[in-house]
Structure 1
Amino acid sequence: MRAKDAVGRYGEDVATAFVTQAGWTVLARNWRCAEGELDIVALDGDEVVAIEVKTRRSAAYGHPAEAVTHRKLARLRRLTARWLSEHDVRAGSVRVDVIAVLVQRQGAARVEHLVGVV
């Protein structure tokens, strides 16, 4: 596994633990279709949440969430609609969140949760 892939996988593991500890139910991880991938799909109460995870080892190139562009958000919305059409999940509402993970040299990673990114 390449170092970049390992860092990304670590960030997704951290994000999954973060939402699980918040009491959410993880419905899917790394769900893929021809149009792309959803990192995490979770249930926050009766709300389905598609979560994009961005992980960096430093802030030298900016905050991890800065990598989520308007174009990327549009794709995430399309992917979320497709995921919902393929799964029998009843939701009161749907939203897209971003979880930014910044890996620290020592100690736990820093996690920032951006709710309802539009």
Structure 2
Amino acid sequence: MKGYSRSQLGQAGEDMAEAYLQEQGYEILARNFRTRHGEIDRIVRQGSTLVFVEVKTRRSLTHGTPTEAITVQKRQKLRQTALAYLQEHGGNGEILRFDVISILLQNAEPPKIEHLQNAF
């Protein structure tokens, strides 16, 4: 993914994560849900579980793993954004979960996708 801008890299990672989620049988409900608190990359359903998914994509491990980029402050913003989604769309008594999908795109290697369920 050399030559990609930061936003292009992020978008490519989100697209890969979405394809992965669909292959795993998740139903995509929302993409890039935004509020004044922040953004949730994907909101999906798996059976009776509503899942808020943060996608992190990196080109290398120089600055740590993609998952390590999710700080306490980022988790708080994700929670606030999820609450706004629930207020807007209703929760319907579903189980709620926050997942992280980390994608590592190094050189010509195939993408490395890791899915951490119940990340926080």
Q: How would you bin the TM-score normalised by the shorter chain?
A: over 0.9
Name the aligned partner's letter for residue 17 of structure 2. A
- Percent of aligned pairs with the same residue? 38
TM-score by structure 2 length?
0.91
Q: In the TM superposition, what is the alpha-carbon distance from 1:90 to its structure 2 partner?
A: 2.4
SS of the residue 1:104 aligns to: coil
**Whole-Å separation in 2 of the counterparts to 1:80 and 1:44:** 16
Q: In the TM superposition, what is the alpha-carbon distance from 1:33 to its structure 2 partner?
A: 1.4
Q: Which is worse superposed, 104-113 or 73-82?
A: 104-113
Q: CA RMSD in A?
A: 1.4
**Whole-Å separation in 1 of the counterparts to 2:93 and 2:71:** 26
SS of the residue 1:58 aligns to: coil
Name the aligned partner's letter for residue 32 of structure 2. N
Q: In the TM superposition, what is the alpha-carbon distance from 1:104 to its structure 2 partner?
A: 2.8
**Whole-Å separation in 2 of the counterparts to 1:18 and 1:38:** 17
How many positions carry a matched residue from both structures? Answer: 117
Gaps of 5+ in 2: none
Question: 1:8 matched to which residue of 2?
Answer: 10
- Asked whether the equivalents of residues 48 and 91 of structure 1 are also in contact (C-alpha less than 8 Å), the reply is no
TM-score by structure 1 length?
0.92
Gaps of 5+ in 1: none
Q: In the TM superposition, what is the alpha-carbon distance from 1:13 to its structure 2 partner?
A: 0.4
Tell me whether 1:66 sits opposite 2:64 in the alignment.
no
Write out the 4+ residue segments of structure 1 that deviate beyond 4 Å after TM superposition. none
**Whole-Å separation in 2 of the counterparts to 1:65 and 1:116:** 13
Q: In the TM superposition, what is the alpha-carbon distance from 1:51 to its structure 2 partner?
A: 0.4
- Asked whether the equivalents of residues 40 and 52 of structure 1 are also in contact (C-alpha less than 8 Å), the reply is yes
